[in-house]
Chains A and B, each alone.
Chain A
Amino acid sequence: MNTPSATAGHAATPAWKEWLFTTDHKRIGVLYLVGSMAAFGVAGLMALIIRLEQMDLGMQYITSGTQYNGFLYFHGAAMILAFLIPGLTGFAANYFLPIMIGARDVAFPRINAFSVWLFYFAIILALLSFVIPDAPDIMWTGYPPYSITTAGNTSFYVFTVHLLGFSSILGAVNFLVTVIYMRAPGMGWNQLNVFTWTTVAAFVMQLIFIPVLAAAVTLLLFDKYLGTHFYDPSAGGDVLLYQNLFWFYSHPAVYVIFLPAVGILFEILTTMGKNQVFNYKAAIYGGVWGIVGIAGIVWIHHLYVTGMPDWLRLGHMVTTLLISVPVGILTLSMWGTLWKSAITYNTAMMYAASCLYLILLGGLTGIPLALPSLTLHLSETSYVHAHFHFIMALFSAFALFAGIYYWFPKMTGRYADGAVATLSFWLNFIGVNVTFWPLFIIGVEGMPRRYWDYQMFPQFEGYHHIATYGAFIIAAGMLLQFANFIYSAVAGKKAPLNPWNSQSLEWTHTQSPPGPGNFVEDVVVDENWSPYNYNK
């Protein structure tokens, strides 16, 4: 494999050029990290505006409902499509997956570079919606007919999805080929890191399901701008076609986010606990692949109140409930990994421990939503809003931040741990609970989602106040956290090559940061090697 180090010898190449034209998977990973964190920052600001507006009855800060809807649209779309997915399958997978399998780069480094720049073009396109007249106001779901009849510019949504989808498909092909053909000699499938497996599973789902989303939004574009009638019932189309296509992708997309987050968690629990994965094969073949197997047949639970036929709603109730089996096996493995471990606490481990709480709370609050009868009341309330924030947004974001603290010494040669990191962790952890618990409570009482005003429920004002205070606690925590990342990268305490005494290849066989081509010598492992060999 041609290593992307051709420019390394020429000291004259300016740094910006090296980054702009890089095909090194680690630099591409860092580019994904920077882009996804930028998206997180902007979408986080939107969240603060949303919370401020909901704080009191009546109109406070916005000038129209449409403006509020634009903020909501951007918050949702950017957090899911430009922060969580690129942060986990872009940054974490790009930087560490090739090293974990002992490869010098990905199979197609130039396609990899193309992927990251497609992602940046998508972010730029999404940000342009702040300067164009009639920004998209269609939520990240973009349901027709509203997305077709609105004055908002739906095409910005469609083309953003196209660019990101194209980027993800190319990334998926690239990484699947890499894992299949470029593992270090001697490395069998049962010796892979859990993170490698979960990422492979995520990429398989991206490859299968993204084309369906692309088709759904393309038909939207045709309907709105070319006068076709795919979703127009007055001309024989069907409004529910879009929702079926959309959720056929977007439910698996939840697992595309969830699984790599679980993988990061396993890396941290094993390394910090110096323990092997509990029931490794069950976790991989039962848990991870069980989720992949079931991911494509549960989407109707997003359409429980749309008048789908009863047999479909009840059938998907059963499949949805059965998700608890693979997720339960995965959870048991996670818990079992703690058993008889020897845990060292640091910021990464604190985030990982809080993820155990988040997966439990977020997962269990999903069970009522698996039942169509309970969903008849809970659908589109802030209960749903709190549930998916806990399981998808917060769990995955906390796992990603855990991963950043965990891999920080490898990426920079310095620790990001310290008093500021600890303080920001506690602010974030307390903040998310203060923000989202009140939303559970008023959700069960009937508070609808996506409302900037709630004149019919003035008694909820107090809860909204508390939730808004929570959002600002998170904001303070995140500001501290990012300041700490930047400070630590430049002037943090120097770390040894393997500060956590991990057995995984990215720690045992590379410099910090790994140089071009990753390894000084080619990695060869034997059948006794395992990334979790602590008790041998």
Chain B
Amino acid sequence: MKLLTAILTMAATTLLASQALAEDTLANPPASWDHLWNEVMIDLYIIGGIFSTAAIYMLIKFRAKSPDQVGTAKTLSPVQSIGWVLIPAAIFMADDFFLAANGWTVWNEYRRVPEDAMEIKATGYQWYWEFEYEDGTVTEELVMPVGQPVVLRMTSSDVIHSFGVPHYRVKEDVMPGRITYIWLNPVEENETVVQCAEFCGNDHANMWTAVRAVPQEEFDAWLSASADEPTFDIDEWKDAWSESQRSAAR
């Protein structure tokens, strides 16, 4: 296992180093995610193509011509038996380690927070999100300036939730008693959603809010406007929410 770890570490660092040389721009995990996904898909199409072609061929080719016909496959010799284990196992393991090394590289992009990242505190409640900015402003939607990496320090005040933003290809659970983090890199103006991705009860399906990436000036204006607003009122929110539920039910 130690050897395995060593090999994998080497593979991952080599890949990382080559990537770091190639580009000194900020990592963009969603783009890497898409790249890795396509790579894995090609892998799967090849394996799936080989196996399904073989299966369809044999299922058609080896139909019994008469009811008394029996199969004619020969028992493997010991060498053949071992060969049919070792060679496929080697191929599968090579593929596994290839995928593991690539997966690890992308993983590191997701976990290494850029130094200049803006800190935002995110808290999950049953059933809404709350964000606290560095200046103490508390909001119910997540707004980020374009080009400014953001790190979210996350926890929950009640049950387990999960902070999932499909647009940024990222998700991490938020739990009472623990602090987890993810970082986002808003490379362009965009409006998307964060949704709760861990089952949390009655309104799990409604626990989502806006995530916006806006130009710096717009962000500054929004932040100071939010700071002037009274602190988020949960009772008011609940009333508004149940009203929206009633109208949805009609």
A325 within 8 A of B: yes
For window 371-419 of A, CB contacts with B under 8 Å fall at 371-374, 376-377, 379-381
Q: How far does the alpha carbon of A329 sit from the alpha carbon of B88 in the complex, in Å?
A: 7
* B84 / chain A contacts, CB cutoff of 8 Å: 278-279, 282, 332, 336
A433 within 8 A of B: no
Asked, given contacts A314-B107, A380-B171, whether A307 binds B180 with beta carbons under 8 Å apart, the answer is: yes
The answer to whether B62 and A339 have CB atoms under 8 Å apart is yes
The answer to whether A340 and B71 have CB atoms under 8 Å apart is yes
Q: How far does the alpha carbon of A13 sit from the alpha carbon of B171 in the complex, in Å?
A: 62
Most buried by A among B51, B95, B195: B51
**Minimum Cβ distance to chain A for residue B109 (Å):** 8
Q: How far does the alpha carbon of A66 sit from the alpha carbon of B84 in the complex, in Å?
A: 52
**Minimum Cβ distance to chain B for residue A364 (Å):** 5
* B58 / chain A contacts, CB cutoff of 8 Å: 335, 338-339, 341
Residue of A nearest to B55 (CB): A356
A208 within 8 A of B: no
Task: Please tell me which stretch of A2-10, A137-145, A508-516 contacts chain B, meaning at least 4 of its Cβ atoms lie within 8 angstroms of it.
Answer: A137-145
Task: Other than A279-B81, A322-B96, give 18 A-B pairs with Cβ distance below 8 A.
Answer: A69-B199, A279-B76, A321-B96, A321-B99, A331-B51, A336-B73, A336-B84, A340-B73, A342-B64, A342-B65, A371-B40, A373-B104, A445-B166, A448-B196, A453-B206, A454-B205, A535-B71, A535-B72
* B81 / chain A contacts, CB cutoff of 8 Å: 279, 281-282
Q: How far does the alpha carbon of A372 sit from the alpha carbon of B170 in the complex, in Å?
A: 11
* Cβ contacts A to B, 19 pairs, < 8 Å: A64-B202, A65-B206, A239-B175, A278-B84, A314-B107, A317-B103, A328-B92, A338-B59, A338-B62, A339-B73, A341-B62, A342-B65, A371-B100, A372-B103, A376-B110, A377-B33, A446-B164, A448-B196, A456-B208
Most buried by B among A139, A345, A370, A456: A456
* A328 / chain B contacts, CB cutoff of 8 Å: 88-89, 92
Q: How far does the alpha carbon of A331 sit from the alpha carbon of B88 in the complex, in Å?
A: 11
Q: Mark A454-484, 1 if CB is under 8 A from B, else 0.
A: 1110000000000000000000000000000
* B36 / chain A contacts, CB cutoff of 8 Å: 371, 373-374
Q: Which of A331, A353, A448 is in CB contact (< 8 Å) with B164?
A: A448
A146 within 8 A of B: yes
Asked, given contacts A275-B73, A377-B170, A455-B206, whether A239 binds B48 with beta carbons under 8 Å apart, the answer is: no
The answer to whether A450 and B70 have CB atoms under 8 Å apart is no
